Amino acid sequence: MEQKRTEGYRERLKDKKRIVVKIGSSSLQHPQTGDLDYIKLEVLVRELCNLKNQGKDVVLVTSGAVAQGKRAMNLKEADITDQNRIAMKQACAAIGQARLMTTYQRIFSEYNQMTAQILITKNTIVDNLNRYNAHNTFTQLLRMGVIPVVNENDTVATYELELDNDTLSAIVAALIGADLLILLSDIDGLYTDDPRKNPAASFIEVVEELNDAYMDMGKASTGSSVGTGGMNTKLTAARIATKSGADMLIANGGDIRIIHRLMDGRNYGTLFVARRDADFDLPGFVDKLNQ
Ligand code: GLU
């Protein structure tokens, strides 16, 4: 009985119309060097263009600006001190974002797919006029068949005090009325405990109601030294996404072809089932984050 209902949730993923895909820094680069993994990027772009070819609206939320900026400037951990840490990260984001976007545009253009860059801060959502403008821009771009490529505007946001990209991608999903958010991570999905520390932790395939017991399963660490997301931020993202009416998937981005497998209704990752809350106040929720 339970199995049947779960299959139903998976089956309906095929009909999703507006999809936000988030990819983290660690899924985009070679662990040995920190340089971009072009094969992964190409597979990601191909998967997104293929969704687009099925008539779906697609948005990509990508990390990697800070990591690529550091890499471009050949910075070592020792170059970053307590005094210069935020300024360095912001400068690296400015350098890295342009490089990252150039790479994306080059690969998307191989599929003749137009892209656009949208950089967002917390204030974009909290401020009514900014949020209205951001919503209109997304809507117009999607109407024009463009794939918006989104990141936090780290150069003006006080990095680490503002948003992480898990939360950001859920905010984008809520803002544009997406019906599915896919978080590609370096972990298979949600476990009852951290599987890297507790071998008895069991995997959760479907979360129908995101109650406090699930929220407590969030762990602050990611196991990766790049990016800022852990399971906590993914659960915050799940709250925003499901309350705004989108299903959310956490899946392992080790093989990015998982995107079309998920869209075929196959049983990978953890699925958080949408539970629209008509009273959900997106700007109010975002305003309270990290306070
Ligand atoms: N916005 C950051 C970057 O592009 C990453 C933040 C995150 O991974 O959560 O480098």
Contact 40/28 with Cβ under 8 angstroms? yes
- The first and second tokens of residue 201, run together, are 């932790």
> Quick count: other Cβ atoms within 10 Å of Cβ 118?
17
Distance separating alpha carbons of residues 114 and 96, to the nearest angstrom: 21
Lowest mean pLDDT among 31-40, 109-118, 156-165, 220-229: 220-229
User: What is the domain partition of the chain in residue ranges?
Assistant: 2-288
- pLDDT value at position 160? 60
CATH code for the structural domain at 2-288: 3.40.1160.10
- pLDDT value at position 225? 42
- pLDDT of 228 > 90? The answer is no
Distance separating alpha carbons of residues 80 and 95, to the nearest angstrom: 16
What residues line ligand 1, using a CB cutoff of 6 Å? 24-25, 63-67, 93, 151-152, 154, 164-165, 227-229
- pLDDT of 229 > 60? The answer is no
Q: Which residue has the higher pLDDT, 291 or 169?
A: 169
**Centre of ligand 1 from the C-alpha of residue 26, in Å:** 10
Residue type, 229: G
Residues 220-253: b if buried by 16+ CB within 10 A, e if exposed? eebebebbbbbbbbbbbbbbbbbbbbbbbbbbbb
Give the confidence band of 26 by pLDDT, cuts at 50, 70, 90: confident
Taking the model in full, what pTM does it have?
0.93
Give the confidence band of 227 by pLDDT, cuts at 50, 70, 90: very low
**Centre of ligand 1 from the C-alpha of residue 9, in Å:** 30
- The first and second tokens of residue 260, run together, are 């079309």
Dmax over CA atoms of the chain, in Å, equals 58
**Centre of ligand 1 from the C-alpha of residue 165, in Å:** 6
- pLDDT value at position 267? 94
- pLDDT value at position 158? 73
Lowest mean pLDDT among 106-115, 128-137, 151-160, 220-229: 220-229
Contact 224/184 with Cβ under 8 angstroms? no
- pLDDT of 245 > 90? The answer is yes
- pLDDT of 226 > 50? The answer is no
Rounded to an integer, the average pLDDT of 41-48 is: 98
- pLDDT of 197 > 50? The answer is yes
- pLDDT value at position 74? 93
Give the confidence band of 162 by pLDDT, cuts at 50, 70, 90: confident
- pLDDT value at position 108? 98
